Amino acid sequence: MKINANFNERVVINTNEMSWTPSPMPGVDRKMLDRIGEEIARATSLVRYAPNSHFSAHTHGGGEEFLVLEGEFNDAAGCYPAGTYVRNPLGSSHAPWAGAEGAVIFVKLHQFDLQDASHCVIQTREQAWYQGMVPGLKVMPLHEFGAEHVALVKWAPNTRFNPHQHWGGEEILVLEGVFCDEHGVYPAGSWLRSPHLSKHQPFTGPEGALIYVKTGHLGDLIR
**Residue 223: predicted pLDDT:** 43
CB burial of residue 2 (10 Å; 0-12, 13-18, 19+): exposed
What pLDDT score does 40 carry? 82
- pLDDT at 39 (0 to 100): 81
Give the model's pLDDT for residue 186: 98
Structure confidence at residue 57 (pLDDT) = 86
Q: Is 96 exposed, middle or buried (0-12, 13-18, 19+ CB in 10 A)?
A: buried
DSSP, residue by residue, the chain = -EES--TTS-EEEEGGGSPPEE-SSTTEEEEEEEEEESSSEEEEEEEEE-TT-B---EE-TT-EEEEEEEEEEEETTEEEETTEEEEE-TT-EE--EEEEEEEEEEEEES---TT----EEEEGGGSPPEE-SSTTEEEEEEEEETTEEEEEEEE-TT-BPPPEEETT-EEEEEEEEEEEETTEEEETTEEEEE-TTEEE--EEEEEEEEEEEEESSSGGG--
pLDDT score recorded for residue 65: 97
Which domains, ranges and CATH numbers included, belong to the chain? 18-122 (2.60.120.10), 128-221 (2.60.120.10)
Residues 6+ apart with CB under 8 A from 151: 139, 140, 141, 142, 212, 213
Res 41: pLDDT:
87
pLDDT on residue 182: 97
Report residues of the chain scoring pLDDT below 50. Answer: 223
- pLDDT for residue 60: 87
